Amino acid sequence: MRTALVLLLMLAAAAVPGSIYPQRSADPNGVSKFFDDNPDLAKILDGIQLFDVYTSAWFSAIYILLFISLIGCVLPRTIAHAKNLFEAPVATPSNLRRMPAFLATKLGKAAQREAIERAESLLRKQRYRVARQVDADGGVSFSAERGYARETGNLVFHVALIGVLFAVGLGGGFSYSGQRVLVEGETFVNNLAGYDSFSPGAFFKPEMLTPFSVTLDKFKATFDLQNETNIGTPLDFRADVTSRLVGVDGKTTESHSVIRVNEPLEMPGSKLYLTGNGYAPVITIRDKNGDVAFSGPTEFLPQDRNYTSLGVIKVPDGAGPQFGILAFFYPTQDKLNTGAKTSIYPDPIDPLLTMNVYVGDLGLDSGQPKNVFQLDIKSMKQVAGGKSGVKGLELVPGQTVKLPKNLGTVTFDGIKRYASLDVSYNPGGLWVLIFALLALAGVTLSLTIPRRRVWVAVRDGELQVAALARGDDPALERVVAEITAELTMAEAPSGTAAGGSSTEGKTND
Amino acid sequence: MTSALLNENLSQISLLFIYGAMALYTFSFLAFATHLSRLASTKEASRKTASGVEKFAMVMLILSAIVHAIGVVLRGIAANRVPWANMYEFSITGSLIVVVIFLFSLLIRDVRLIATFISGITLLVLGLATSVWYIKVKTLMPALQSYWLVIHVLVAVLATAFFSIATAFAVVYLLRDAAWLAKAKGKLFGFVRRVIELFPSSDKLEKSAYRFNIIGFILWSFTLIAGAIWAERAWHRYWGWDTKEVWTFIIWTIYAGYLHANATRGWTGKRSAWLALVGFAAIIFNFTIVNLFFKGLHVYSGLK
């Protein structure tokens, strides 16, 4: 027990740093930000796995030791308990007065006989396991025990925890989860190329991906415009999708469904969750010759609750030099006192797109993967917006404006929305749940069912009832009193020694 | 969920009831404290008046609970949903449940002596809720629109309530056996000693704490499982070591340690009582610091 206790406390303490430092599993962006902000400290922390606490060597060591100690404890106890279940209750101790709860009642001979005769059936009725004993002096006593479920529950709880651990481990190995951003009208095909990011478990194979496709027909966000104190609060996000699934017979079945935040779409072998959304303004850029250099919806990242959104457009292949655009989208524009623009409502009531333009090397040829939401402006020259001397561009839907430096024109064609979908599969989940519920049932039994031994004997001319609890038992004295009352009341109708009985009790509780 | 009508006026009325309940809890708290101090008095005349004061305090406590309950229900009606979707609402509902469980416990066993603690802590929680955590009535964000909000959070509140009452017993238990208090000189310490003497034996206090803690532990285990089921639906994984999940796990582990301590030679008594206090401190930390300052998915305080 002491080992388990110390390991449990160590486990609790070891889990704390994972809530203080960003974790790669839960918050990868937080980790990269930490590395940017404190590069030296980050290296040290990373060296002792503080960004991967829950898969770290030291955290794993503690819980593995805990489970080894658990198995080492549960195995012998299971064997002992199994034996116990088939054995008769222990022999009645020679001195019952020493028990924590004890009552003795003086009774006449006839009443004694009657009480001891009734004792067995009474104890059995109260679901005790009862053994009849004959003492050395020939007196009869009953030894009874109940509450075996307390130990059973305790063992079930601990074994179920091992089950949880295995289900988590194995399930995690066969699981996968991937992310995909879909603009209205776009289709996602469930293969590795279809994902923006993908994290497979250790035993994952690409064949595990069921061939299906999902098209985002429409994304609808509803915001409160009615309740004064609640304006702009999201009320509902709903993605209307069409899914196509190729059956074994080669035929494609098509169905329409809705994905909401708490209502994932269940496809065979995976579930699709709605995890985010935003605006994707449709933008067309023509170079100085009028040829299209860029066209299409661009996903913008929401920056606040009113969906002020930031997007980046990179134009590497126009007729002129390479240039990039840092754009802000305001669904419902307004001006702050400082003169800066802001959005005051998340739906596009009065939308505005503003752009700062930078000319120079976009760094796309270096072969290194680039974040599509970032524009590396270090080696670029700003030609519109900021301190460039040229006003930043401002567009409303349908509007076309000229780009500076004869770069061409830009058109704000319209507004689409996008949905971030998460595709997840974890076959362990159901098993984790089953074992967790078993553990809950087990721990409830083991903490609430009292395990107690009760003895009823006729000794020294008195009826003796005694009880002993294993563990906490709030009812011990009451039980002894009740059994005594039941057994001595029986004499009243037969009218033998009703008036002459006296009760001597004792509690060590 | 397109046009849930919020009733801000009703929510203001609800707030008035909560303020009213705070006033009544203040009376109740002061009366219970007076009761204790009279009982602990060295003058016999003073001790005789104690039971009258206690009756008054108990009536005040029941009245406060009724007014408090009206405030909570009105908040729910004003919001058109369960009244525990942000820190303010969680606090007013949680503290009400503590008081209700305490009042019901009185029917089963005599736990009157911790009434000062219960009314005091409720007053403190309501004070924080109305002054620091108060927000106007809001609709539920899409992630919270689930019946698991009713189950998961309600059971978490219940578990917290049981843990709080157990903590009261553990504190008194530790004071009762505290060597420094027994030795400390001065009038105040003498008075505290006499108050502590009023409580049941250490053995009984320890058992009471244990019994409330085991119910808390069972409910907390359920909270954890229900949370995982909900997380699987809302966040696409049943467990992801989100900060709130981490702390739920830490609290569960500490109380699991407490249960083991109660069956370990050398760890029963004071050490396990201290563990129970550490567990409760983790609960408070989880509800305040983690809610307000830690980054994570459970960002439901409603405060900026």
Same domain? For A370 and A405 the reply is yes
**Tokens 């053994």, located at residue:** A131
Per-residue tokens: A349: 């009531």
Chains A, B: CB pairs < 8 Å: 156
ipTM of the prediction:
0.90
Instruction: Look at B235 and A262 and tell me if their CB atoms are within 8 Å.
Output: no
Provide the shortest C-alpha distance from residue A485 to chain B (in Å): 22
Same domain? For A51 and A105 the reply is no
CB-nearest partner of B236 from A25, A275, A436: A275
> Is the Cβ of B77 closer than 8 Å to some Cβ of chain A?
no
Instruction: Look at B264 and A5 and tell me if their CB atoms are within 8 Å.
Output: yes
As a whole number, mean pLDDT of residues A260-273 equals: 92
Q: Is the pLDDT of residue B209 over 70?
A: yes
CB-nearest partner of B142 from A26, A261, A426: A261
Instruction: Please tell me whether residue B286 adopts helix, strand or coil conformation.
Output: helix
Same domain? For A294 and A392 the reply is yes
Range of the domain at A456: 89-147+452-507
As a whole number, mean pLDDT of residues B93-113 equals: 91
In the beta sheet, which residues pair with residue A360?
Answer: A380
Which tens digit of pLDDT belongs to each residue from A4-19? Answer: 999 999 999 999 999 9
Per-residue tokens: A80: 């002992």
- Structural contact between residues A359 and A380, judged by C-beta atoms closer than 8 angstroms: yes
Distance CA A129, CA A72 (A): 29
Global confidence as pTM:
0.89
Per-residue tokens: B256: 């699991």
Supply the pLDDT for residue A507: 42
Same domain? For A285 and A411 the reply is yes
> Is the Cβ of B241 closer than 8 Å to some Cβ of chain A?
yes
Q: Is the pLDDT of residue A494 over 60?
A: no
Q: Positive or negative CA dihedral for A381, A373, A285, A335?
A: negative
Distance CA A426, CA B236 (A): 10
Which tens digit of pLDDT belongs to each residue from A56-82? Answer: 999 999 999 999 999 999 999 999 999
Q: Which residues in chain A have their CB less than 8 angstroms from residue B138's CB?
A: 229-230, 233
Which tens digit of pLDDT belongs to each residue from A152-170? Answer: 999 999 999 999 999 999 9
What's the CATH code of the domain at A500? Answer: 3.30.160.110
Same domain? For A316 and A202 the reply is no
Contacting A residues, span 21-40, partner chain B, CB-CB under 8 Å:
22-23, 25-27, 30
Contacting A residues, span 269-328, partner chain B, CB-CB under 8 Å:
271, 273, 275
Instruction: Look at B241 and A23 and tell me if their CB atoms are within 8 Å.
Output: yes
Q: Where are the beta strands (DSSP E) in A21-160?
A: 101-106, 129-134, 140-146
As a whole number, mean pLDDT of residues B199-219 equals: 92
Same domain? For A272 and A356 the reply is no
Contacting A residues, span 54-73, partner chain B, CB-CB under 8 Å:
54
Contacting A residues, span 408-437, partner chain B, CB-CB under 8 Å:
422, 424, 426, 429, 432-433, 436-437
Distance CA B146, CA A310 (A): 31
Q: A28 versus A444: which is more confidently predicted?
A: A444
- Structural contact between residues B205 and B176, judged by C-beta atoms closer than 8 angstroms: yes
Going by DSSP bridges, is the β-strand pair A140-146/A129-134 parallel, antiparallel, or unpaired? antiparallel
As a whole number, mean pLDDT of residues B58-87 equals: 95
Ordered alpha helix ranges (H), chain B: 8-39, 44-48, 50-79, 87-108, 115-131, 148, 154-176, 179-183, 187-198, 202-234, 243-261, 270-285, 291-293
Is B185 exposed, middle or buried (CB count within 10 Å of its CB: 0-12, 13-18, 19+)?
A: exposed
Same domain? For A204 and A260 the reply is yes
Residues 6+ apart with CB under 8 A from A44: none
> Is the Cβ of B243 closer than 8 Å to some Cβ of chain A?
yes
Nearest chain B residue to A266, by CA: B233
CB-nearest partner of B136 from A229, A263, A437: A229
Same domain? For A9 and A75 the reply is yes
Instruction: Please tell me whether residue A261 adopts helix, strand or coil conformation.
Output: coil
As a whole number, mean pLDDT of residues A21-46 equals: 90
Give the confidence band of A427 by pLDDT, cuts at 50, 70, 90: very high
Nearest chain B residue to A234, by CA: B141
User: What mean pLDDT, rounded, does chain A reach?
Assistant: 89
Query: Which of A37, A52, A83 is where one domain is finished?
Result: A83
Q: Is residue A155 part of a domain?
A: no
Which of B10, B141, B238 to probe by mutation at the A interface, max A CB count within 10 Å?
A: B238
Which tens digit of pLDDT belongs to each residue from A399-417? Answer: 999 998 889 999 999 999 9
Distance CA A291, CA A282 (A): 17
Provide the shortest C-alpha distance from residue B68 to chain A (in Å): 24
Distance CA B143, CA B136 (A): 19
Sequence spans of domains, chain B: 8-139, 141-304
Which tens digit of pLDDT belongs to each residue from A118-142? Answer: 999 999 999 999 999 887 777 889 9
Supply the pLDDT for residue B2: 46
Nearest Cα to A176, choosing from A152, A197, A155, A156?
A197
Query: What single-letter amino acid sits at A170?
Result: L
CB count in 10 Å sphere of residue B200: 18
> Is the Cβ of A222 closer than 8 Å to some Cβ of chain B?
yes
- Structural contact between residues A433 and A167, judged by C-beta atoms closer than 8 angstroms: no
CB-nearest partner of A233 from B138, B148, B249: B138
Nearest chain B residue to A222, by CA: B2
Query: Which of A38, A53, A83 is where one domain is finished?
Result: A83
Q: Which residues in chain B have their CB less than 8 angstroms from residue A230's CB?
A: 6, 136-139
Is A190 exposed, middle or buried (CB count within 10 Å of its CB: 0-12, 13-18, 19+)?
A: buried
Same domain? For A337 and A355 the reply is yes
> Is the Cβ of A446 closer than 8 Å to some Cβ of chain B?
no
**Tokens 């066969």, located at residue:** A174
Same domain? For A479 and A435 the reply is no
Question: To 10 degrees, what angle do helices B8-39 and B50-79 make?
Answer: 160
> Is the Cβ of B110 closer than 8 Å to some Cβ of chain A?
no
Which tens digit of pLDDT belongs to each residue from B211-241? Answer: 999 999 999 999 999 999 999 999 889 998 9
Q: A269 versus A399: which is more confidently predicted?
A: A399
Per-residue tokens: A212: 């299906």
Instruction: Look at A422 and B236 and tell me if their CB atoms are within 8 Å.
Output: yes
Supply the pLDDT for residue A370: 65
Distance CA A396, CA A311 (A): 16
Is B190 exposed, middle or buried (CB count within 10 Å of its CB: 0-12, 13-18, 19+)?
A: middle
> Is the Cβ of A441 closer than 8 Å to some Cβ of chain B?
no
**DSSP class per residue in B193-260:** HHHHHHSPPHHHHHHHHHHHHHHHHHHHHHHHHHHHHHHHHHSSSS----HHHHHHHHHHHHHHHHHH
Give the confidence band of B304 by pLDDT, cuts at 50, 70, 90: low
Q: Is residue A25 part of a domain?
A: yes
For chain A, what percent of residues have pLDDT higher than 90?
66
Give the confidence band of A369 by pLDDT, cuts at 50, 70, 90: low
Instruction: Look at B236 and A15 and tell me if their CB atoms are within 8 Å.
Output: no
Distance CA B267, CA B205 (A): 16
Same domain? For A11 and A48 the reply is yes
Instruction: Look at B228 and A9 and tell me if their CB atoms are within 8 Å.
Output: no
Tell me the C-alpha to C-alpha distance, in Å, between residue A402 and each of A333, A346, A382, B64, B257.
Answer: 22, 28, 16, 69, 69
Please count the structural domains in chain A.
4
Distance CA A471, CA A451 (A): 7
Same domain? For A71 and A110 the reply is no
